[in-house]
C-alpha cells in the first residue's frame, strides 16, 4: 500500500532555513516579487534568487512552472525550487505548481516557504498526488540508477503565517490522496497478486473506515442469475465475486450507485488477444479501482451522502471450461446474449452488476466505469475518457466536475441506429456490434440494462486508467482517473450541505 506524503503546516520560522535538508520551495510572483521567506533565501544564497528572478529564464517560465537552483551556497538543502506563482492563484495554477513540487520531490523532504492567500490546499493536493510511486513489487528502493525514476513521498511541510487556517483548508487533501493512491495501487498490482479474492479482501478492509461491505461468492451470484458475469469467469481458477460497498453518510434518500468493471486480467478468453502488450491487461480492473478509490475517499472524509459502490471481479481466461464464441447466456435481467467474441467481456460483467444495483438499491443515479474498449483510445487517445449518458443534467454536472478537477472527459453520442448493430439472429442481442463505432455499441449494450427512469452515465476509461507517459497528476502508469471528479460530483450534487 502506498501512503501519501505526510503533510504538515507550521508557523514561519526562517531561522530553521539554513539547516533544512532535502528541498526548499520558494514562491516568486510573475512580476518577480520575493516574499519574506524568499528574501531570506536570497540573502543566504548571496543574491542567487534575485538574479534568477531577473533572468530571461524566469521571464520565459509560465505561471505554475518551477525551476531548481541546485546545491545552493548558504543552505544545507539540495535545491531551492523556485515556483512562479501569484499569491492569489487560480485553483488550477495552484494545483499545477503543486504538481511541479511533488514531481521534483522524488522521495526527499520538502519545505515550502509561504502559504498562499488563496488555493493553498490545491497546491498541497497537487504536490501530494504527484509524489507517487508504485514500489510494492520492488525488493529494494536503493537501486536507483540515476534515471528519472519516481520515488515515493517524503514529508511536505508548508510554512506560513496562519498554519491553523491552512491546515483546516487542506483537511480533505489526505482523504482524496488516499483514495487516488488506493485506485492507483490496485491498477498497478499484477494479476497474480491482485486476484479476485485479494481484491475482495482489500475492499473488505474498507469496513474499518465505517463502510458496509458485502462479498458475494459464486453460489450466491448463481442464485441471483448473474449468468453473463459468471460465464466470463468460468475459465479461471480465481472465483468470480461481486463486492458491494455502502457508504451511508446521508439521510433516508436512495444512494447514487457506482459500478466498476473489475477484470483482474483479460486474456480475451477463447477469442485470445495477441501476445504483444497483453501484459497491460492487468489494468482491466481500472473501473473497479476507481470505484474503490472513491469509496475510500468518501469514507475518510465522512461524506454526507449515500453512495453504493459495486464491482464485478472476474478473470477472463481460456480454458476447457471457458465460454466459447457462439455460446448464448442469460443475464440476470432475463435477456439472452449471443457471445460472438469472448474478448468483449466487460459488458457481460457490467450488465449483471448494473441490473443488480438497480434491483437492490433503486439508485437516484448510476455511473459505471470500465476499461471497456480499445476503440475509445482510437477516438480520444489518453487525454479524455469517453462519457455516455441518458441524462443531460447529470452528464453536464459530471463534465463540470471533471473539468474543475482537470480530469479529461468528453461526451459521446448514443442512438437507436447504433443499437441496431447489436441485433442477433438467435438471441436477444449479440455482445459485439462490429468495427464501426465500437465504443458506442458497447455503451448501447450497457444501456439495454439501464431502467428507463435511472439517470445513468457510462465512463469508458480504457485510455485514461493507466498511461505510458506522465499524466497531469501522476507519473507514468496508473492515474486514479475519476476519483477526484466523482468525489466532486457527489459533493456538489448529492451531498447534504451543512445546515441543510
Ligand atoms: N479490456 C479490453 C479493452 C481495452 C483495450 C482496455 C485496451 C484497455 C486498453 C476489452 O475487454 C476488450 O477486449 N475490448 C475489445 C472489444 C471487441 C472485441 C469488440 C476491444 O476493444 O478490442
Ligand atoms: Mn476483452
Ligand atoms: Zn476487458
Q: Give mean pLDDT, residues 203-230.
A: 98
Q: What residue's CA is closest to ligand 1, atom 7?
A: 374
Question: Residue 143 above 80 pLDDT?
Answer: no
State the average pLDDT for the chain: 96
User: CA-CA distance, 438 to 374, in Å (whole number)?
Assistant: 8
Active site residue 420: no
> In the beta sheet, which residues pair with residue 213?
245
Percent of the chain surpassing pLDDT 90 = 95
299, with CB counted inside 10 A (0-12, 13-18, 19+), is: buried
Structure confidence at residue 147 (pLDDT): 53
Q: Are 301 and 172 in contact (CB under 8 A)?
A: yes
User: What is the distance in A from the centroid of ligand 3 to the CA of 272?
Assistant: 11
Which is the closest atom of ligand 1 to the Cα of 268?
13
Question: Residue 145 above 60 pLDDT?
Answer: no
User: What is the distance in A from the centroid of ligand 2 to the CA of 269?
Assistant: 8
| Region for residue 362 given its phi and psi (left: phi exceeds 0; alpha: psi -120 to 50; beta: otherwise) | left
Spot the catalytic one: 39, 155, 162, 273: 273
HSE-CB of 139 using CA atoms within 13 angstroms: 0
Q: Render 20-67 in DSSP notation, one character per residue.
A: --SEEEEEE-TT--B-HHHHHHHHHTTTHHHHHHTSHHHHHSPTT-EE
Task: Report which DSSP code applies to 132.
Answer: -
Query: pLDDT tens digits for 176-205?
Result: 999 999 999 999 999 999 999 999 999 999
Query: What are the start-end ranges of the H helices in 318-364?
Result: 346-361
Judged by its nearest atom, the ligand closest to the C-alpha of residue 283 is: 1
Structure confidence at residue 103 (pLDDT): 96
Structure confidence at residue 114 (pLDDT): 84
Q: Are 196 and 238 in contact (CB under 8 A)?
A: yes
Query: pLDDT tens digits for 67-126?
Result: 999 999 999 999 999 999 999 999 999 999 999 999 999 999 999 998 899 999 999 999
Q: Are 282 and 137 in contact (CB under 8 A)?
A: no
User: What is the distance in A from the centroid of ligand 2 to the CA of 344?
Assistant: 5
HSE-CB of 141 using CA atoms within 13 angstroms: 10
Structure confidence at residue 154 (pLDDT): 86
Q: Give mean pLDDT, residues 243-247.
A: 99
Task: Report which DSSP code applies to 151.
Answer: -
User: CA-CA distance, 143 to 101, in Å (whole number)?
Assistant: 23
Q: Is 335 helix (H, G, I), strand (E, B) or coil?
A: coil
Query: pLDDT tens digits for 281-325?
Result: 999 999 999 999 999 999 999 999 999 999 999 999 999 999 999
Question: Residues lining ligand 1, CB < 6 A?
Answer: 266, 284, 341, 343-346, 371-375, 432, 438, 462
Question: Residue 251 above 80 pLDDT?
Answer: yes
Query: pLDDT tens digits for 397-420?
Result: 999 999 999 999 999 999 999 999
First-to-last C-alpha distance (Å) of the chain? 37
User: What is the distance in A from the centroid of ligand 1 to the CA of 203?
Assistant: 25
Pocket residue to mutate for ligand 1, from 343, 421, 477, most atoms within 8 A of Cβ = 343
Per-residue confidence band for 149, with pLDDT thresholds at 50, 70 and 90 = low
Q: Give mean pLDDT, residues 149-170.
A: 89
Q: Is 264 helix (H, G, I), strand (E, B) or coil?
A: strand
Neighbours of ion ligand 3 (CB under 5 A): 263, 266, 284, 346
Single out the residue of 385, 381, 428 nearest to residue 403, CA to CA.
Answer: 385
Active site residue 347: yes
Question: Residue 496 above 80 pLDDT?
Answer: no
Question: Residue 500 above 50 pLDDT?
Answer: no
User: What is the distance in A from the centroid of ligand 1 to the CA of 377?
Assistant: 10
User: What is the distance in A from the centroid of ligand 3 to the CA of 343?
Assistant: 7
Q: What residue's CA is closest to ligand 1, atom 22?
A: 374
Query: pLDDT tens digits for 18-55?
Result: 999 999 999 999 999 999 999 999 999 999 999 999 99
Spot the catalytic one: 261, 347, 430, 488: 347
- Regarding beta strands 155-160 and 6-11, do their DSSP bridges make them parallel or antiparallel, or are they unpaired? parallel
- Predicted structure pTM score: 0.97
Which is the closest atom of ligand 1 to the Cα of 273?
13
Neighbours of ion ligand 2 (CB under 5 A): 266, 343, 345
Q: Are 306 and 212 in contact (CB under 8 A)?
A: no
Number of residues written out for the chain: 500
Amino acid at each position: 500500500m502506498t501512503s501519501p506524503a505526510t503533510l504538515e503546516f507550521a508557523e514561519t520560522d526562517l531561522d530553521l532555513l539554513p539547516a533544512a535538508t532535502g528541498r526548499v520551495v520558494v514562491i516568486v510572483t510573475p512580476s518577480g516579487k520575493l516574499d519574506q521567506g524568499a528574501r531570506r533565501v536570497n540573502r543566504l544564497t548571496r543574491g542567487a534568487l534575485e538574479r534568477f528572478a531577473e533572468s530571461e529564464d524566469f521571464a520565459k517560465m509560465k505561471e505554475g512552472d518551477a525551476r531548481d537552483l541546485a546545491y545552493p551556497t548558504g543552505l544545507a538543502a539540495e535545491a531551492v525550487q523556485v515556483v512562479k506563482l501569484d499569491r492569489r492563484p487560480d485553483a488550477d495554477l495552484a494545483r499545477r505548481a503543486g504538481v511541479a513540487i511533488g514531481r521534483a520531490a522524488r522521495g526527499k523532504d520538502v519545505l515550502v516557504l509561504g502559504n498562499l492567500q488563496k488555493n493553498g490546499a490545491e497546491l498541497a493536493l497537487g504536490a501530494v498526488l504527484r509524489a507517487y510511486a508504485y514500489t510494492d513489487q520492488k525488493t529494494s528502493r536503493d537501486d536507483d540508477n540515476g534515471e528519472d525514476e519516481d520515488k515515493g513521498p517524503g514529508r511536505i511541510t508548508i510554512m506560513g503565517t496562519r498554519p491553523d487556517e491552512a491546515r483546516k483548508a487542506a483537511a480533505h487533501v489526505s482523504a482524496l490522496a488516499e483514495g487516488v493512491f488506493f485506485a492507483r495501487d490496485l491498477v498497478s498490482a499484477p494479476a497474480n497478486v491482485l486476484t479476485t479474492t485479494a481484491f475482495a479482501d482489500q475492499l473488505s478492509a474498507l469496513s474499518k473506515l465505517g463502510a458496509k461491505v458485502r462479498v458475494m461468492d459464486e453460489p450466491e451470484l448463481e442464485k441471483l442469475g448473474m449468468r453473463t458475469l459468471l460465464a466470463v469467469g468460468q475459465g479461471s481458477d480465481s472465483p468470480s465475486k461481486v463486492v458491494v460497498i455502502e457508504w451511508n453518510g446521508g439521510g433516508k434518500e436512495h444512494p447514487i450507485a457506482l459500478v466498476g468493471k473489475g477484470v483482474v486480467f483479460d486474456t480475451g478468453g477463447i477469442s485470445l488477444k495477441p501476445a504483444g502488450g497483453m501484459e497491460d491487461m492487468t489494468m482491466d480492473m481500472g473501473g473497479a479501482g476507481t470505484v474503490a478509490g472513491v469509496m475510500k475517499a468518501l469514507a475518510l472524509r465522512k461524506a454526507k451522502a449515500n453512495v453504493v459502490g459495486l464491482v464485478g471481479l472476474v478473470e477472463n481466461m481460456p480454458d476447457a471450461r471457458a465460454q466459447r464464441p457462439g455460446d448464448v447466456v442469460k443475464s440476470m435481467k432475463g435477456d439472452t446474449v449471443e457471445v460472438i467474441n469472448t474478448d468483449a467481456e466487460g459488458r457481460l460483467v457490467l450488465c449483471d452488476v448494473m441490473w443488480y444495483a438497480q434491483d437492490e438499491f433503486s439508485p437516484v443515479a448510476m455511473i459505471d466505469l470500465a476499461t471497456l474498449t480499445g476503440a475509445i483510445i482510437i477516438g480520444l487517445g489518453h487525454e479524455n475518457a469517453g462519457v455516455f449518458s441518458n441524462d443531460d443534467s447529470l452528464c453536464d454536472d459530471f463534465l463540470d466536475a471533471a473539468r474543475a478537477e482537470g480530469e479529461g472527459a468528453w461526451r459521446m453520442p448514443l442512438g437507436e441506429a447504433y443499437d441496431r448493430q447489436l441485433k442477433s439472429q438467435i438471441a436477444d442481442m449479440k455482445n459485439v456490434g462490429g468495427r464501426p463505432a465500437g465504443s458506442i455499441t458497447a455503451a448501447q449494450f450497457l444501456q439495454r440494462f439501464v431502467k428507463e427512469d435511472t439517470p445513468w452515465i457510462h465512463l469508458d476509461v480504457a485510455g485514461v486508467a493507466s498511461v505510458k507517459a506522465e499524466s497531469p497528476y501522476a507519473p507514468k502508469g496508473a492515474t486514479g482517473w475519476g476519483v477526484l471528479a466523482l468525489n466532486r460530483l457527489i459533493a456538489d450534487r448529492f451531498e447534504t450541505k451543512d445546515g441543510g
